[in-house]
Structure 1
Amino acid sequence: MFLFFIFGTSLIYGQNTVNDTIIVQDTLSNLKFNYKQLIIPGVLVSYGVIGLESDQLKGYNSDIKKEVNEDIDHKISIDDFSQWAPAVSVYSLNAFGVKGKHNLKDRSIILASSYLMMSATVFALKGITKVERPDGSSNNSFPSGHTATAFAGAEFMYQEYKDQSIWYGIAGYAVATGTGLFRMYNDRHWLTDVVAGAGIGILSTKAAYWMYPFLQHKVFKSSIENKTTSMIMPFYN
């Protein structure tokens, strides 16, 4: 009986070890980031950064500003709200029974991680570059925080619903693009600000999905899954 107990305990311990090993291997395999995912956001961010010094791209900025200002009758503040629309839509769709890829806790952690990385990047670049806004109101134009927020949400919506229908992602990116256009229409940002903001937003959410398997295993362990958890994320735009 004693030998049987030891043998059974050894089997259980060995099984747990194997399971932990499998989890770690799966986590590491999920961390393999496909470099192709970096191409589009990389090009967008590069365009914005190059535009900080390129006379040609600065000329495009000025030409667009002149064209836009000729047609402006009054400003429209819809971009203050549309920046949040793609991310909020994910939760709304889930509330109406259209299930995304992740549950409430998982997708909230992913979105919070994305916003944290995006906000840190945007504020750091604003402080470093000190680009004057088109309306001359301040020197924190580059990159566009509204656009970054909108595109982070659009990529979030795409990732959650791409297996359901690609049209969810298209709708999210259409709203995000509109947000960027309204930032220029309202004379708050240059084209390079908006393009760079879009790239930062997309890249932040892609990185959040890439990192989440590691965070899930190392930080948000399964032992707390059955407990009620709350999360407060300070965010300023």
Structure 2
Amino acid sequence: MVYKVISLVFLFSFWNTSAQQNDSIIKIDSTSSHLKFNYKQLIIPTALISYGVIGLESDQLLSFNSQIKDEVKEDIDEKITIDDFSQYAPAATVYALNAFGVKGKNTMRDRSVIFVTSYVIMASTVLSLKSIVKEERPDGSSNNSFPSGHTATAFAGAEFLWQEYKDKSIWYGITGYAVATGTGLFRIYNNRHWLTDVAAGAGIGILSTKLAYWMNPYITKKIFRSSSESNSSSMIMPFYNGHQYGLSFVKTF
């Protein structure tokens, strides 16, 4: 059962990046680095979120969650905490690639504004739902299981990596989504989340980043004056300790 879930989720991630590549001509304005709105971009994240929400009440999906939990408890003896770090890997890769001279789609300023906007949308959505739904975790440790914050963070970063570097190579996006998928699977592996929590978190993460790209032209127009990018650089990274979200900021001159 677990192996079927792993195969299904990874196949879904590959389909997501492939579908976005095939639709890139429609999405991207040739005179702008901003993501253009297209309703097709809503299909995958909406489907994931819907699966998670329906799973809160669906007897069939709840039963499937329980089956996965039983297999995890039966076959896995030791937890692996790599998901506490892998959730940040896709977003960190964007800044690492830029530091090594592989330029992304946007300037450092626009990229950072998009990232912060995505993170604010994602974190506020996740924390709000956790406090409203109050779903018990599979291990019974708390009542804030839905949706998975680790998974949302990872998929928001994966979509961020995809949008910035898909014009360089599709493999950046595939790698980012593979890491994000692994993060979600480890949340199930460690008995911290149900499959429905992970699915909803993935959808929220993807949608948050898409919203950030759509909003960026308006945000930068309101906040920043038209000017060329300065020689200084900055880096904004999130943290999540299991209970709280936050941002750390580093700037070099």
TM-score scaled by length of structure 1: 0.83
1:221 and 2:217 equivalent? no
Q: Say which SS state the counterpart of residue 172 (structure 2) adopts.
A: helix
Residues 104-156 of structure 1: per-residue CA shift (max 9 Å, x gap): 11111100000000000000000000000000000000000000000000000
Correspondences of 1:147-162 after superposition (within 5 Å): 147-162=151-166
How far residue 217 of structure 1 moved from its aligned partner, in angstroms, is 1.3
**Counterpart AA for 2:107:** N
1:181 and 2:185 equivalent? yes
Task: State the match for 2:211 in structure 1.
Answer: 207
Q: Structure 1 pair 225/168, CA: closer, same or farther in 2 (3 Å)?
A: closer
Aligned length: 210
How far residue 221 of structure 1 moved from its aligned partner, in angstroms, is 2.1
Rounded to whole Å, the distance in 2 between the matches of 1:121 and 1:231 is: 23
How far residue 165 of structure 1 moved from its aligned partner, in angstroms, is 0.5
How far residue 218 of structure 1 moved from its aligned partner, in angstroms, is 1.7
Task: State the match for 1:72 in structure 2.
Answer: 76
Rounded to whole Å, the distance in 1 between the matches of 2:101 and 2:126 is: 34
Q: 1:56 aligns with which of 40, 54, 60?
A: 60
Matched-pair identity in %: 73
Q: 2:143 aligns with which of 125, 139, 146?
A: 139
Rounded to whole Å, the distance in 1 between the matches of 2:148 and 2:194 is: 9
Q: Say which SS state the counterpart of residue 173 (structure 2) adopts.
A: helix
**As a proportion of its length, which structure holds more strand?**
2
Q: Max radius of gyration: which structure?
A: 1
**Counterpart AA for 1:58:** L
- Higher alpha-carbon deviation: 93-102 or 148-157: 93-102
How far residue 231 of structure 1 moved from its aligned partner, in angstroms, is 8.6
**Root-mean-square deviation (CA), in Å?**
2.1
Asked whether the 8 Å contact 1:158–1:172 carries over to 2, the reply is yes
Q: Structure 1 pair 219/176, CA: closer, same or farther in 2 (3 Å)?
A: same
Residues 75-119 of structure 1: per-residue CA shift (max 9 Å, x gap): 000000000000001111111111110121111110000000000
**Counterpart AA for 2:203:** G
Asked whether the 8 Å contact 1:31–1:211 carries over to 2, the reply is no
Q: Structure 1 pair 57/76, CA: closer, same or farther in 2 (3 Å)?
A: same
1:190 and 2:194 equivalent? yes
1:167 and 2:191 equivalent? no
How far residue 222 of structure 1 moved from its aligned partner, in angstroms, is 1.6
Asked whether the 8 Å contact 1:31–1:214 carries over to 2, the reply is no
**As a proportion of its length, which structure holds more helix?**
1
Rounded to whole Å, the distance in 1 between the matches of 2:210 and 2:172 is: 17
Rounded to whole Å, the distance in 1 between the matches of 2:226 and 2:170 is: 31
Residues 207-236 of structure 1: per-residue CA shift (max 9 Å, x gap): 000110111112222259559697978863
Q: Say which SS state the counterpart of residue 127 (structure 2) adopts.
A: helix
**Counterpart AA for 1:139:** N
- Higher alpha-carbon deviation: 178-187 or 221-230: 221-230
Rounded to whole Å, the distance in 1 between the matches of 2:169 and 2:183 is: 23
Gaps of 5+ in 2: 1-30, 246-253
Residues 15-56 of structure 1: per-residue CA shift (max 9 Å, x gap): xxxxxxxxxxx99xx686211000000000000000111111
Q: Say which SS state the counterpart of residue 47 (structure 2) adopts.
A: helix
Task: State the match for 1:11 in structure 2.
Answer: none
Task: State the match for 1:8 in structure 2.
Answer: none
Q: Say which SS state the counterpart of residue 33 (structure 1) adopts.
A: coil
Rounded to whole Å, the distance in 2 between the matches of 1:121 and 1:57 is: 23
Rounded to whole Å, the distance in 1 between the matches of 2:134 and 2:174 is: 33
